[in-house]
């Protein structure tokens, strides 16, 4: 699991963060225009940070597991009780991010509202009255 974590999960997490930033800056959704984009970004940063912190624990347990013989594996399993909860909460955060990115709930930030008003064309009837 240590190799899988460091060479697959961590790089994919960082790539997810990077591509999310690039896509938000290059699309009409923008990075600061909609609340769901901000929440998605914050949750992705949070999940990446927790993953990087947690990989130290994974590396520790991987080192302990390599030094054990088959008779002591039961003792190692007892120390991993909190890891299941950690994985479940991490999965829940990823599902929330996915739901936000698919359904795109309404709600614009004040910056997004201002930008939308700037881009809205002025109608000729209002323009001639002024």
- Where residue 130 falls among pLDDT bands split at 50, 70, 90? low
The encoded tokens of residue 88 equal 């479940």
Task: Tell me if 97 is assigned to some domain.
Answer: yes
Q: Is residue 86 very low, low, confident or very high in pLDDT (cuts 50, 70, 90)? A: confident
CB 36 within 8 A of CB 107: yes
Residue 117 phi/psi, 5-degree rounding, is -70, -35
Q: How far apart are CA 99 and CA 45, in angstroms?
A: 17
Answer yes or no: is 41 within a domain: yes
**Global pTM value:** 0.79
What are 35-55's pLDDT values in tens digits?
999 999 999 999 999 999 989
> Is 17 a member of any domain?
yes
- Cα–Cα distance, 99 to 93 (Å, whole number): 10
Give the structural domain span for 77: 2-118
How many Cβ atoms sit within 10 Å of the Cβ of residue 37?
22
Per the structure, the count of domains in the chain is 1
List pLDDT tens digits, range 60-82: 888 877 887 766 666 666 667 77
CB 33 within 8 A of CB 109: yes
Tokens standing for residue 50? 């927790």
Range among 47-51, 85-89, 125-129 with highest mean pLDDT value? 47-51
């Amino acid at each position: 699991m240590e190799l899988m974590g460091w060479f697959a999960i961590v790089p994919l997490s960082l790539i997810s963060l990077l591509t999310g930033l690039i896509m938000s800056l290059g699309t009409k959704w923008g990075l600061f225009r909609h609340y769901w984009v901000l929440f998605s970004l914050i949750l992705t940063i949070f999940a990446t940070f927790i993953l990087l912190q947690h990989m130290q624990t994974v590396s520790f347990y991987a080192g302990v597991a390599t030094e054990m013989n088959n008779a002591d594996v039961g003792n190692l399993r007892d120390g991993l009780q909190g890891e299941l909860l950690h994985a479940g909460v991490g999965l829940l955060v990823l599902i929330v991010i996915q739901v936000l990115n698919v359904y795109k709930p309404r709600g614009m930030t004040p910056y997004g509202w201002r930008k939308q008003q700037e881009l809205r064309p002025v109608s000729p009837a209002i323009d001639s009255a002024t």
